[in-house]
Amino acid sequence: MTLASWQHNYMISNGVRLHYVTQGDGPLMLMLHGFPEFWYSWRHQIPEFAKDYKVVALDLRGYNDSDKPSDTAAYRMGELIKDVEGVIRGLGYDRCVLVGHDWGGAIAWQFAYAHPDMVDRLIVMNLPHPAKFAEGLRTAPQLLRSWYIFFFQLPVLPELILQAGDYQMVANAFNGMAIDKTAFSPEDIEMYKDAAAKRGALTAMVNYYRNIFHQGFTSRQWSKLSVPTLLIWGENDAALGVELTYGTEAYVDDFTVRYIPNCSHWVQQEKPTLVNQYMREFLTAHAA
């Protein structure tokens, strides 16, 4: 893995300047990270899939080197969907393989519903279908796991706690949750802390959560998604119970799920070889 060999670029999408890393040529594979990450969470996937694709790993708005709008409403799902659409079209494509983890997975699900014609295949990691997540939030076990969502609704305090002790809570999110404690090197943790420490980043990152109850997903009726979809799930996710995956096939016409035991929420970083294998198998079986 040679970070220096990857190209760093910027583009304007939906009025926001977004940073991304890219490698390879061919059909577009667009990767969307989660919280509290940035493009770097895909470091094990970028070189592998750059063999066949133009891989673009985005810094979502508010993260790392992308713009950080100050308005809380700038982080509503409708804006995030427009960002993705603008990136795909701005890169000169009309379709992509869309890959998302955590918040990136939430955006990927919603984008596939909004623009199924622009998603050739969908790969989501450790983020349930929005209908299943809404169901989960009505159960006591998932409500307990999702305590941080409600904590992040508070003003100011979440940012203060996240940055306390040299961003110790950010470091703990990775080292504390990972089953394989060797998955994150000290250098990896420093990169995540540095990204979170950028001016305006913490508030922007938390603002995703502050908009979560404005998204309408808790009451929306979901049709069946026509896009072939792979869900990869680390079974030992402390934040999202594996039961949130059960029954997803009722919402997706062509659905594949791969469970990875002894693996946390950080699935593509903790088990990269297996994740890459499952992605390859799915992409081959569903070749365009």
Question: Which is catalytic among the residues 209, 237, 251, 278?
Answer: 209
- Assess whether 10 carries a catalytic annotation: no
Q: Tell me, yes or no, if 209 is annotated catalytic.
A: yes
Its sign, for the CA torsion 48, 12, 127, 204, is: positive
Active site residue 166: no
The active-site residue, picked from 102, 129, 167, 237, is 102
Amino acid at 181: K
Helix axes 157-175, 201-210, angle to 10 degrees: 90
Which of 60, 49, 162 shows the shortest CA–CA distance to 105? 60
Residue 244 is given by DSSP the state G
Which position among 19, 101, 129, 265 bears the catalytic label?
265
**Whether the Cβ atoms of residue 45 and residue 279 lie closer than 8 Å to each other:** yes
Residues 6+ apart with CB under 8 A from 68: 61, 62, 198, 199, 200, 201, 203, 204
Active site residues: 102, 209, 265
